[in-house]
Every structure is written in C-alpha cells, then in structure tokens.
Amino acid sequence: MAGYTPVCDVGWKAPGFSLLGVDGKTHRLEELKGSNGTLVMFICNHCPYVKAVIDRVVRDAKELEALGVRAVAICSNDTSIYPDDSFDNMKRFAEQHGFTFPYLHDESQDVARAYDAVCTPDFFGFNANLELQYRGRVDESGREPARPDVRRELFEAMKQIAETGHGPGYQKPSIGCSIKWKAA
C-alpha cells in the first residue's frame, strides 16, 4: 500500500540513534552529520518506489557530499515478513547500487518510530544544527523512470539547506510503500 509523507515540521530536531551498518560498524547520528546538513533516508530493498529512485539518490548523495551534506540510509522493515529486507540483503543492495553512505539496520524499529517515518522512501533533510528543513520527494517520477530533464527536487532542497540553512518553502511529499511494522 502506498503512502505519502506528512508536511515538513520545519525546525524539528533530529532524534539521535546508534545503529549497525552493513559495513559491520555501529553508526551514531552525531558522528554522521555533515558540516552543512544531513540527509536521513528511510528506504528498503524490496520497495518498487525505492528501486525506481535509488540510483538517483546515490548520485545525489555523492554530489551533496562535496557541499558538506552527509547522507545515511536506514531500513526499518520487519524482515520476518519481508525477508528481501534482511541485513544480508541490505549488504547486497548497498553493494549493487554503489552506496557511498552508511546503510543501517533499525531492527527494533525504534528509530523509524522516533522519526515518524511513514514510507519507503521517506527523506528527512536537516541543516547543520540537525533541524528539519525538508521532507519531500526525490523528484516527480514516483515509480516511473525519470525523464532526462526531471527537476532534482531533493538535491536542490539539500543544496539550498547547505547554502542557507533553510529548505524550500514549498515541498511535495514523497510517495512510497508503507513501513512494514512488526506485530504489536
């Protein structure tokens, strides 16, 4: 089932976390944050929305790194129901797509709950002070292949945040598959 992200709560502070990455290391938000901004992305391996945009996300993350913006991806899905999102499959997915950023496993789903993540992909763009400035989409393509001239909304928003500390006033929500929550 597809879901949309809520309107950006500008200024909301990023909750800290400590999660295991596919590189075998534990990563903390404070250690990952960029000098000019941080992009926290909730993704997974199986979602058709993520699969449709992941190569553009990897491209954008590489380009944003040069602007002092660091990216991190988190998978929070229940792997007992969606084994495609298992830790081993996360490793393969990161390698297959050439991730240059940490890909972390939120097995407890506590981080997804703290961020109020809704879907995959769900993008949280923070300024240097870890204040939320963007919660929108990569671009208008959704699950479809992007046209060559598609506007790079996520990249442009994060570039603006890196340069000014503030995100765009108008943001279109991301769309994706719902987070696969564990049974209560």
Listed in order, strand segments (DSSP E) in the chain are: 2-4, 18-21, 26-28, 37-42, 69-75, 103-105, 119-120, 122-126, 132-134, 175-178
Query: Given pLDDT bands bounded at 50, 70 and 90, which one contains residue 3?
Result: low
What does the block give as tokens for 25?
């290391």
Give 131's Cβ-side CA count (13 Å radius). 10
Largest CA distance in the chain: 44
Angle 85-88-94 (CA atoms, 0-180°, nearest 5)? 75
Q: Has residue 142 got a pLDDT over 90?
A: no
What is the distance between the alpha carbons of residues 13 and 9, in angstroms, rounded to a whole number?
9
End-to-end alpha carbon distance in the chain: 19
Q: What is the pLDDT of residue 1?
A: 54
Question: For residue 135, what is the DSSP state?
Answer: -
What is the distance between the alpha carbons of residues 60 and 71, in angstroms, rounded to a whole number?
9
* Tens of pLDDT, residues 78-114: 999 999 999 999 999 999 999 999 999 999 999 999 9
Q: Has residue 138 got a pLDDT over 90?
A: yes
Tell me the backbone φ, ψ of residue 3, rounded to 5 degrees. Answer: -135, 160
